[in-house]
């Protein structure tokens, strides 16, 4: 539709409808696709062998005119839905097959839900009417409940009785498809431009290399065109149709099997023609880089509270694993107890894999990596190696200094009530190398900034061996030599006065903290 809006009305020409066949298992989808193929009024050229390429076109006489219909030759709604998940809308119309003896079954409902969700109009094929016990009227009756009301009952859904086995009712079914296409579906495309479309099936052939069946959605594809399909690119070396016949050019709604791509695209990948080979390759490489990054990010991104909450909302949840480290055992126990009391849905399990006193260590991160856990540091920080490893593995490590803040964060995440969250961001870390006694300012820490920037306005925290010994401290003085400064960057030395807080030792770290609104992925 988007595409149509960009087009000049006068460039648009009618294109054949593209149809998917769906329904309950064993209701005759495959048989019906075979029967339809056999009614084709235009036979393949002599010598052609019928091939499964994922889609085929049939020609049928409708109102005295020969018209084409494209069928996706992969029965079932699963392939349709998988392609849709990639953003590809392949079908214009769905044929819902219901066996007249069985009536509506679970997958009938599932399939029609999928089609209705995608806004695809449905034609009902009431199959197996040749069978004893067939009850086509009951099928019509049953489907009214799902909003599919037969025309004879005053609705606008077309029902056609067929026997795929005997090839009966097929022309009527094709007529119904074309009537549905003509009534309200504006199936037009501009054939006079570079082709665009969707890959619907692809494989690696021993002799021919990558072969992909593509469905042209607009424009015309020619042998010799430079194309990019997903992350595959190349020049169209040859095209074949479902009869194995060579094709020179393919117009909208035509499925063709294409040779010449560098690799095998996936079903649902979009393809387009580019002016030059180079451009096709560049687009493919760009797409590949984007994809690789997304995959890496996914692999690295272990479960976070946000992911967990999302999984909870989507109803696919296992357990939330936690590792708790704290400065004193009383706090760790209190936090553990409080966390286990959070009331959550039965489908959710909160498991505390490990608890302990002391800094967050590498082995905590390793455990979190294996068991997909979130690490909570209560008044403790990770040591340098743990910090690096957590970053590399994408482990969610959260720091709190009050129990209720930890509880609130986890509880609200669990319940999916994510308000804008603020998180502490470490803006700088400095190491204490000397201590000067000053009668006026108290103890002054002579430091070197190890990372980030120490800023005068930030809150400071003193950390000794990974444990927070002073928190929420104001920086009362920040100096370089004799000058007052507002910030000191990495690798520079400075003097820091923390006012009344005098419990500092050589080797301690002073980190500065800023509160920032949390960015969610
Ligand atoms: P699918 O699972 O929906 O693809 O179903 P199939 O096409 O594989 O058909 C399932 C079974 O029903 C097969 O044994 C078919 O021969 C049979 N069948 C399909 N259509 C008809 C029909 O119109 N009449 C009768 N009697 N049997 C049919």
Mean pLDDT, range 237-262, rounded to an integer: 95
Mean pLDDT, range 205-216, rounded to an integer: 93
Name the DSSP class of 265. P
Backbone angles phi, psi at 168, to 5 degrees: -95, 140
Q: How far is the CA of 50 from the centre of ligand 1 (A)?
A: 21
DSSP, collapsed to helix, strand or coil, labels residue 162 as: coil
Higher model confidence: residue 414 or residue 11? 11
Predicted local distance difference test score (pLDDT) of residue 41? 57
Q: Residues comprising the binding site for GTP?
A: 23-30, 73-77, 127-130
Does the Cβ of 76 fall within 6 Å of ligand 1?
A: no
Average pLDDT over the chain, rounded to an integer: 85
Strands (DSSP E) along 15-158, which ranges?
Answer: 18-23, 55-62, 65-72, 93-99, 122-127
Q: How far is the CA of 163 from the centre of ligand 1 (A)?
A: 9
Using pLDDT thresholds of 50, 70 and 90, give the confidence band for residue 314: low
Q: How far is the CA of 30 from the centre of ligand 1 (A)?
A: 7
* Mutate-to-test residue for ligand 1 from 22, 31, 132, 162, highest number of ligand atoms within 8 A of CB: 31
Predicted local distance difference test score (pLDDT) of residue 346? 63
Does the Cβ of 169 fall within 6 Å of ligand 1?
A: no
For atom 6 of ligand 1, which residue has the closest CA?
Answer: 28
Does the Cβ of 77 fall within 6 Å of ligand 1?
A: no
Distance (Å, whole) CA 239 – CA 208: 12
Distance (Å, whole) CA 339 – CA 324: 10
Q: How far is the CA of 31 from the centre of ligand 1 (A)?
A: 6
Predicted local distance difference test score (pLDDT) of residue 195? 96
Mean pLDDT, range 25-32, rounded to an integer: 95
For atom 9 of ligand 1, which residue has the closest CA?
Answer: 28
For atom 11 of ligand 1, which residue has the closest CA?
Answer: 26
User: Is residue 102 pLDDT above 70, yes or no?
Assistant: yes
Q: What atom in ligand 1 is closest to the CA of residue 23?
A: 3
User: Is residue 470 pLDDT above 50, yes or no?
Assistant: yes
| 125-139 confidence digits (pLDDT tens) | 999 999 999 999 999
Please report, in angstroms and rounded to a whole number, the separation of the first and last CA atoms in the chain: 30
Mean pLDDT, range 469-474, rounded to an integer: 90
Does the Cβ of 29 fall within 6 Å of ligand 1?
A: yes
* Mutate-to-test residue for ligand 1 from 164, 167, 169, 170, highest number of ligand atoms within 8 A of CB: 164
Does the Cβ of 326 fall within 6 Å of ligand 1?
A: no
In SS3 terms, 349-378 reads as EEEEEEEEECCECHHHHHHHHHHCEEEEEE
Does the Cβ of 128 fall within 6 Å of ligand 1?
A: yes
Predicted local distance difference test score (pLDDT) of residue 46? 45
Q: How far is the CA of 75 from the centre of ligand 1 (A)?
A: 12
User: Is residue 301 pLDDT above 70, yes or no?
Assistant: no
Closest among 446, 442, 449 to 512, alpha carbons compared: 449
Q: Which helix (H) or strand (E) covers residue 324, if one does? A: strand 319-326
For atom 24 of ligand 1, which residue has the closest CA?
Answer: 128
Using pLDDT thresholds of 50, 70 and 90, give the confidence band for residue 305: low
Distance (Å, whole) CA 495 – CA 503: 16
Using pLDDT thresholds of 50, 70 and 90, give the confidence band for residue 396: confident
- Residues 127, 164 contacting (CB under 8 angstroms): yes
Distance (Å, whole) CA 348 – CA 383: 32
Predicted local distance difference test score (pLDDT) of residue 196? 95
User: Is residue 240 pLDDT above 90, yes or no?
Assistant: yes
| 70-97 confidence digits (pLDDT tens) | 999 888 877 777 677 566 788 999 999 9
Predicted local distance difference test score (pLDDT) of residue 463? 92
Q: Which two tokens stand for residue 186?
A: 């504006």
User: Is residue 299 pLDDT above 60, yes or no?
Assistant: no
Predicted local distance difference test score (pLDDT) of residue 118? 80
Does the Cβ of 27 fall within 6 Å of ligand 1?
A: yes
Best mean pLDDT range from 47-51, 72-76, 109-113, 278-282: 278-282
Higher model confidence: residue 469 or residue 288? 469
Predicted local distance difference test score (pLDDT) of residue 1? 38
Q: Which of 24-38, 415-429, 495-509 has the lowest mean pLDDT?
A: 415-429
Name the DSSP class of 156. S
Predicted local distance difference test score (pLDDT) of residue 51? 78
| 403-445 confidence digits (pLDDT tens) | 888 888 887 766 653 444 566 778 899 999 999 887 777 789 9
Q: How far is the CA of 164 from the centre of ligand 1 (A)?
A: 7
Does the Cβ of 130 fall within 6 Å of ligand 1?
A: yes
Does the Cβ of 131 fall within 6 Å of ligand 1?
A: yes
Predicted local distance difference test score (pLDDT) of residue 137? 96
| 315-346 confidence digits (pLDDT tens) | 555 577 888 998 888 888 888 888 888 776 66
| 137-147 confidence digits (pLDDT tens) | 999 999 998 88
Predicted local distance difference test score (pLDDT) of residue 294? 59
Using pLDDT thresholds of 50, 70 and 90, give the confidence band for residue 5: low
């Amino acid at each position: 539709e988007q595409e149509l809006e960009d087009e000049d009305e006068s460039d648009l020409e009618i294109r054949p409808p593209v149809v998917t066949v769906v329904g309950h298992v064993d209701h005759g989808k495959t048989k019906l696709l075979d029967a339809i193929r056999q009614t084709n009024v235009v036979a393949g050229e002599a010598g052609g062998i019928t091939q499964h390429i994922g889609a085929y076109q049939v020609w049928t006489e409708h109102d005295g005119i020969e018209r084409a219909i494209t069928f996706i030759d992969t029965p079932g709604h699963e392939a349709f839905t998988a392609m849709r998940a990639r953003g590809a809308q392949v079908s214009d119309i769905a044929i819902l097959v219901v066996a007249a003896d069985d009536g509506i079954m679970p997958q009938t409902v599932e399939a029609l839900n999928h089609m209705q969700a995608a806004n695809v109009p449905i034609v009902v094929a009431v199959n197996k009417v040749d069978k004893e016990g067939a009850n086509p009227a009951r099928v019509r009756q049953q489907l009214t409940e799902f909003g599919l009301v037969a025309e004879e009952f005053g609705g606008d859904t077309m029902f056609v009785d067929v026997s795929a086995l005997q090839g009966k009712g097929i022309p009527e079914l094709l007529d119904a498809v074309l009537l549905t296409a003509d009534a309200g579906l504006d199936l037009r495309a501009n054939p006079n431009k570079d082709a665009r479309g969707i890959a619907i099936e692809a494989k690696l052939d021993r002799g021919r290399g990558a072969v992909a069946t593509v469905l042209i959605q607009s424009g015309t594809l020619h042998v010799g065109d430079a194309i990019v399909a997903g992350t595959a690119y190349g020049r169209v070396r040859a095209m074949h149709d479902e009869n194995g016949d060579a094709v020179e050019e393919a117009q909208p709604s035509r499925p063709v099997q294409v040779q010449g791509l560098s690799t095998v695209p996936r079903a649902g990948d979009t393809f387009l023609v580019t002016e030059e080979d180079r451009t096709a390759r560049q687009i493919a490489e760009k797409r590949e880089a984007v994809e690789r990054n997304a995959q890496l990010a996914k692999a690295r991104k272990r479960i976070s509270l946000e992911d967990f909450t999302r999984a909870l909302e989507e109803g696919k949840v296992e357990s939330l694993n936690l590792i708790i480290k704290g400065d004193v055992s009383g706090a760790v126990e209190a936090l553990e107890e409080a966390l286990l009391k959070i009331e959550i849905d039965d489908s959710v399990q909160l498991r505390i894999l490990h608890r302990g006193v002391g800094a967050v260590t590498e082995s905590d991160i390793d455990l979190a990596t294996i068991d997909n856990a979130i690490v909570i540091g209560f008044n403790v920080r990770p040591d340098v190696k743990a910090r690096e490893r957590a970053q590399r593995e994408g482990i969610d490590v959260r720091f709190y200094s009050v129990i209720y803040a930890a509880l609130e964060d986890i509880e609200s995440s669990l319940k999916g009530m994510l308000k804008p969250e603020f998180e502490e961001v470490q803006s700088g870390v400095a190491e204490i190398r000397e201590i000067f006694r000053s009668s006026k300012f108290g103890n002054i820490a002579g430091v070197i900034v190890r990372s980030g920037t120490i800023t005068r306005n930030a809150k400071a925290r003193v950390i000794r061996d990974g444990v927070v010994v002073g928190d929420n401290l104001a920086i009362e003085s920040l100096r370089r030599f004799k000058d007052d400064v507002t910030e000191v960057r990495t690798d520079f030395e400075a003097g820091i006065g923390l006012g009344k807080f005098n419990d500092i030792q050589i080797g301690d770290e002073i980190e500065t903290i800023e509160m920032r609104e949390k960015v969610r992925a």
